[in-house]
Amino acid sequence: MAIEIRLGDITKIPVEAMVNAANSALRGGGGVDGAIHRAGGPSIMRELRAYDGCPTGSAVVTGAGLLPAKYVFHAVGPVYAGGRNGEAELLARAYRSCLRLGEERGVISISFPSISTGAYGYPLEEAARIAVDAVKTTCIPLALFVIFDQRTLQAYLTALE
């Protein structure tokens, strides 16, 4: 199993499964969620309508539409509220839910954004450590963190060391 961290646009990197940082209503949003829906096209949202939301710490699967992937795993991370409401476990569970979906489907590559560190306000260094630790447990041959900015990239590289 290899873990890679790279700066780039998650919607452009070919993998079998691409993780989306979704909201619990599964109705699209900004950031990574908006980018994945714009790049993947309307078929993703059509498939999401079959779900009645998704609890924090969980993930659901759709096809990838026009994205260079077979699946999109829509993971719901926690909104950070000071760290005393189980946020660390919920964040780890969101990553593990995606890994389980990937393992069940036999994927050989999966890409992740930095879940919950944007609008949801999770402290970057802690979130990076949780993400890397969760991903180390998988049997998927390639887990790739696709990071959008230099500060986040550095936090993930440090967490991997």
For the chain, the domain total comes to 1
Give the tens place of pLDDT for each residue, 148-161: 999 999 999 999 99
What percent of the chain clears pLDDT 90, i.e. is strictly above it? Answer: 94
Give the tens place of pLDDT for each residue, 116-147: 999 999 999 999 999 999 999 899 999 999 99
Structural domain containing residue 25: 2-160
Q: How confident is the model at residue 30 (pLDDT cuts 50, 70, 90)?
A: confident
Determine the average pLDDT of the residues in 10-28. Answer: 96
Q: What is the CATH number of the domain that holds 62?
A: 3.40.220.10
CA distances from 145 to 1, 19, 47, 85, 112 (A): 14, 10, 25, 26, 5
Q: Give the list of residues 6+ apart from residue 146 with CB closer than 8 angstroms, or none.
A: 6, 7, 8, 9, 10, 13, 111, 112, 113
What percent of the chain clears pLDDT 70, i.e. is strictly above it? Answer: 100
Q: What is the β-pairing status of strands 142-147 and 2-7?
A: parallel
Give the tens place of pLDDT for each residue, 58-93: 999 999 999 999 999 999 999 999 999 999 999 999
Tell me the catalytic residues.
Answer: 33
pTM value?
0.96
